[in-house]
Structure 1
Amino acid sequence: MSDSYLPHHGDDGYRVTAYDLDLEYIPHTGRLAGRATVHAVARRNLPALGLDLGPFKLHKVLVDGRRPARFTHRAGKLRITPDRTVPAGTAFTVEVRYQGVPRPVRTREWGELGWEQLDEGALVAAQPHGAPSWFPCNDRLDDKALYRIAMTAPTPYTVIANGRLTSRTSAASTTRWVYEQSAPMATYLATVQIGPYERVAVPGADGHGVPQSAAVPRPLLARFAHDFARQHQMIDLFEERFGPYPFEDYTVVVTADDLDVPVEAEGLAVFGANHVDGARGSERLIAHELAHQWFGNSLTVADWRHIWLNEGFAKYAEWLWSEASGGPSAAVLAARSRARIALLPQDLRLADPGLRRLFDDRVYERGALTLHALRTVIGDPAFTALLREWTEVHRHGLVTTEGFTALAERHAGAGRLDGLFRTWLYEKRLPELPSPDPAPGSAPAPRTTVQPTG
C-alpha cells in the first residue's frame, strides 16, 4: 500500500533487503558517480519495476548481473524491464551505474531536500523524500533495509555515513570510506556528510555504554566541547525513559555552514555552526535530535500522516530533559506551549495533518501536549512503562497512531483514554490540559536529576 501523502513514491511490487552504494565525490565540481546495487525480493510477479532517482546520467542498468536491462528515466522515476519476469518470492538484484551533479528535490512545502552542496563538501538531509537526489531507491517508509555505503573523496575531507566505519583506505590523493548499517533503515534516513572535519570524542562520554563521536570543524571545537558536554547524560535519561539506545553508536556532525534546523539520520544527527554558540543555547535541539533515534529512526512511521509519533515524541523529550536538568518542568513547558498555540488557527488534526503541514510547529507542540496529557492522566510509572514497551515491541519496525493508542489503553485500562485521544488527536479544537490526579504516585514527577557540568 502506498503512502497516503506521497502515493507516487516507491514500488510496492518488491521489498528491498539491502543497498550497496559505491560512490565517488569530487567537491570542486560537485560531481557524484558510482554504482548502486539494490538487493530485493519480489512480492509478486514483476515484468517491470521502478526505482526513484533524480536527474543523473545513467550508464548501465543490470538485473541479476545479466545483460543490460531496458529502462526509461524521467520525472524522477527509473522504470526497468528485465529480460524476463521476476517471479514472486524470488530474490534479485538491480545494479545502476550513474553520474552527475546531484540536485536537491525541490518542493513547494519545504524548499530543497536531499543532497546539498556546502561551501566545502556536502550534506544530505532527505526527510521526507529527498533520498532519490543521490541514490536510486525504493523511496517508501515501509521498506526499511540494510546499507553499505562506500564513498571516495579527496583525502583532506572526512566522510561520515550511517552505521559503523568498517574500513578507510587512502590511495594517492583520495580516501575511500566504507560504512555498514546493520539495523534496518528507511531511505530518508540514509545520509553522507562530507567536509574538512576533525573526528573527536564527545566530552564526558568515555566509557559510556553508547559509543559517541563527532565530526566538527576545527574552529568550532571549543564551543562544541561545552555545548555537547551533557549529551551522555541525555542518553542516560532517555534510556531510563524510553528503553535501551537502539543503535550501535551515535555520531554528531557540525557543519561549518549555518543550517535552518538540525537534521536527524539513523545513528547520527547534523547541526549547523549556528547551533554551537558555546553557551548551550541549542541544548534542547541536541535532546530533540537524540530522541529521534528512538522515535523516527528505530520506530519509523508506517505512513507520513503519523508524523506526530516522530516529532511530538522528540519535542516531549526536550521537556523531559529540561525537567531533569534543572530547567522548567514539563508541566510548566506544556502550559506555555498550550498558551502559545491557542493563539494560532485551530484547523489542524494531529493524527492526519496533511502533507502541507507535515512539519508545522503545531504538530510538534500539540504532539508533545498529547503526551503530557497522557502522562498526567495515567501517572509517571505507567507512562514510562508504556514508552519502554512501545520502543521494545516495535524496535527497528513500523508504527501507527492506532498502534500507540491501543497500547496506551492497555496500560491505562480499557476505555479510560477514549476521550483524551479523540480530542487531542482527531479533533481540531485545542483541548484543555488535564489536571493531575491527586491519587498518590499518579502525578508526573522527574525520575532523574542531572548534575550540572561545565
Structure 2
Amino acid sequence: MTPAVRPDDASPGADHSADSYLPGHGNGGYRVLHYDLDLEYRIVSNRLAGRATVTAQAVQPLSRFSLDLGQFRVEDVRVDGRRAAFTHRAGKLRIKPERPVGYGSTFKIEIRYAGKPTPVSGRWGDIGWDELTDGALVASQPNGAPSWFPCNDRLEKASFLVKIAAATPYTVVVTGDLVSRRRGAGSTTWVYERNEPTAPYLMSVQIGRYEQIELAAGRVIQRAAIPPRLRTVFRHDFGRHGEIMATMERLFGPYPFREYVVVVTDDDLDDPVEAQGMAVFGRNHVDGRRTHERLVAHELAHQWFGNSLTIADWRHIWLNEGFATYAEWLWSEVSGGLPANACAAQWHAWLKARPATVRVADPGVDRMFDPLVYKRGALTLHALRAGVGEQAFFALLRSWTAEHQHRTVTTEQFREHAGRFTARPLDALFTTWLDRPALPPVPRTP
C-alpha cells in the first residue's frame, strides 16, 4: 500500500487557492503549464479511466502539494517518474514526492485513475461531467473540472492535449483543435490540442451520436455537432451565425481562437454553456423560430469575454456575463431588433421592480450568477457607452480584448483601461453602477 501523507508535511495554504469565492478549489505552491490527458470512456457503464500527466512549475519549495480530483479510485501517482505517497479524500489528492521540489523547478506529475465520473454538487446544482440519455457532456463553470481530471482548479491558464477513446458510433468533441482520429476494434480514439492558455473550467468534452456540419462560412472556421434529426431546424435557427460572428469581430476585434464549435445535445438543458472555442445548447434551444438567437449571440461573445479574457477571481464575474449580455443587445440593434436603448430601458424597468441588493463588482458567491449581475453589468456598459461616446466606447472594447488576449483580468484593470479613452473622469460612473446597490437612472446613448 502506498504510504499516506502525514499531516505535518502540509504547507500553509497548499490546499487552497487565492480565489475569494471558491478558496477550497485550487491549490498553492505551483502553477500548471500543461495538461496531457489520456482517457477511455465507456458510455453504457459510465466509466472513465485515465492517465493524466501534469507539467507544473514550483513557485515555492515543495515537500508536498495537492490537486483537485473528484470521486475516482487513484491507482498510482508518480512525480518525475518516481512513485509518490498520496492520499485522496474530500476532492483533494495530496501528494508527497520522494524528493522535495525546489523553487522554480519544472516537474511532472503522472496520475492513473478510474471510476464513474460524478458531477460536483453544490449551490449551483451538479457541475462537470454528466451523463446524457445517450452520451455525455461536460459543463464545468465554475468548479466542475475535477469531475473528470486531476487539476489545479483555479482560474490560472495552461495548455492541453486530450486523447479520448470511445465507442465508434459516437462523435467525441473536445475544446481544441482536432489533431487525429484513429479507428480501432469497436472504438475510436480522438486527439485534441488546446494551445491557447485555458482555465480548467473552460475545457469541455461532448460525446453523442452527432453529425458534424459546417455552421457558417467565413474567415473563422465555424462548425457544429448536432443530432441528425435536428438538421433542418438547426440550419434555420443558426442561419445568421456568420453574420453574428462578423458583427462581433467588427465590434470586439478578431475572433481569438482558430475555430468555433456549436454542439446541440439530444437532451434538454436549462441553459446553454460556453467553453473555450465551443458553446453547448440543448435540443430545447432549437425550435425552428430563432427563439433563442439572443443566447447564440451571448455564448459567442463569451469567446472574447470570459474565455480569451478570463476573470482572475470569481468576484469579477460581471466582466464575463455583463459583457455577453450587452452583446445580445448589440446584436439586436444590428439585426433589426430592439435598439440597445430600448433593451436598456426594458431591463432597467425589470431591475427597478426588484430589490436593489447586489453590488455588481462583488456580488458574493451566492449571487454571482444572479440575473441582476448580468443585466446590471450590461447596463453599466451602456452607461459607459453613453458617457464616452460611440467611437471611444468601441475603441476601448477592441483595445481591451487585444491587450489582454489569453490572460486574466479584473474589474480594476477595466476601470483603468476605460479611463484611457476619455478626458472625462469615470470614477463616479463606475462607483454608481458597480459598487453601490442602488439603481441609477436608465442610461441612453444619442
Please indicate the TM-score interval, normalised by the length of the shorter structure.
over 0.9
Matched to 2:158, the amino acid is: A
Separation (CA, whole Å) in 1 of partners of 2:126 and 2:353 = 29
Separation (CA, whole Å) in 2 of partners of 1:365 and 1:434 = 13
Aligned match of 2:258: 248
Deviations 1:76-96 (A, max 9, x none): 000000001100111101011
Runs of 4+ in structure 1 deviating by more than 3 angstroms, as ranges, are none
Separation (CA, whole Å) in 2 of partners of 1:194 and 1:88 = 40
Deviations 1:385-409 (A, max 9, x none): 0000100110000100010011111
Which is further off, 179-188 or 7-16?
7-16
Separation (CA, whole Å) in 2 of partners of 1:375 and 1:235 = 21
Q: Secondary structure at the match of 2:359?
A: coil
1:294, distance to aligned residue in structure 2 (A)? 0.1
Aligned match of 1:93: 108
Aligned match of 2:7: none
Separation (CA, whole Å) in 2 of partners of 1:94 and 1:344 = 50
Separation (CA, whole Å) in 2 of partners of 1:12 and 1:265 = 25
1:54, distance to aligned residue in structure 2 (A)? 0.3
Asked whether the 8 Å contact 2:166–2:188 carries over to 1, the reply is yes
1:414, distance to aligned residue in structure 2 (A)? 5.2
1:54 aligns with 2:63: no
1:8, distance to aligned residue in structure 2 (A)? 1.6
Deviations 1:260-283 (A, max 9, x none): 000000000000000000110110
Structure-to-structure mapping, 1:122-133, within 5 angstroms? 122-133=136-147
Separation (CA, whole Å) in 2 of partners of 1:228 and 1:65 = 49
Separation (CA, whole Å) in 2 of partners of 1:138 and 1:418 = 36
Asked whether the 8 Å contact 2:210–2:228 carries over to 1, the reply is yes
Asked whether the 8 Å contact 1:147–1:180 carries over to 2, the reply is yes
Match for residue 118 of structure 1 among 132, 141, 147 = 132
Separation (CA, whole Å) in 1 of partners of 2:124 and 2:99 = 40
Structure 1 gaps, min length 5? 437-442, 444-454
- Root-mean-square deviation (CA, aligned residues, Å) is 0.8
Q: Secondary structure at the match of 1:60?
A: strand
1:421 aligns with 2:430: yes
Aligned match of 2:93: 78
Q: Secondary structure at the match of 2:150?
A: coil
Give the count of matched residue pairs.
430
Separation (CA, whole Å) in 2 of partners of 1:328 and 1:43 = 51
TM-score by length of 2: 0.95
Separation (CA, whole Å) in 1 of partners of 2:371 and 2:27 = 31
Aligned match of 2:9: none
Q: 1:435 to 1:330 in 2, by over 3 A?
A: closer
Asked whether the 8 Å contact 2:203–2:275 carries over to 1, the reply is yes
Matched to 1:394, the amino acid is: H
Match for residue 439 of structure 2 among 416, 419, 430 = 430
Separation (CA, whole Å) in 2 of partners of 1:425 and 1:12 = 30
1:435, distance to aligned residue in structure 2 (A)? 4.4
Structure-to-structure mapping, 1:272-311, within 5 angstroms? 272-311=282-321
Structure-to-structure mapping, 1:5-404, within 5 angstroms? 5-66=21-82, 68-107=83-122, 109-141=123-155, 143-202=156-215, 205-206=216-217, 208-404=218-414
Matched to 2:295, the amino acid is: L
1:433, distance to aligned residue in structure 2 (A)? 2.2
Asked whether the 8 Å contact 1:224–1:276 carries over to 2, the reply is yes
Matched to 1:362, the amino acid is: L
Matched to 2:428, the amino acid is: G
Asked whether the 8 Å contact 2:145–2:201 carries over to 1, the reply is yes
Q: Secondary structure at the match of 2:420?
A: helix
| Identity between Structure 1 and Structure 2 (%) | 58
Separation (CA, whole Å) in 1 of partners of 2:327 and 2:409 = 18
Asked whether the 8 Å contact 1:162–1:266 carries over to 2, the reply is yes
TM-score by length of 1: 0.94
Separation (CA, whole Å) in 1 of partners of 2:35 and 2:423 = 43
1:434, distance to aligned residue in structure 2 (A)? 3.3
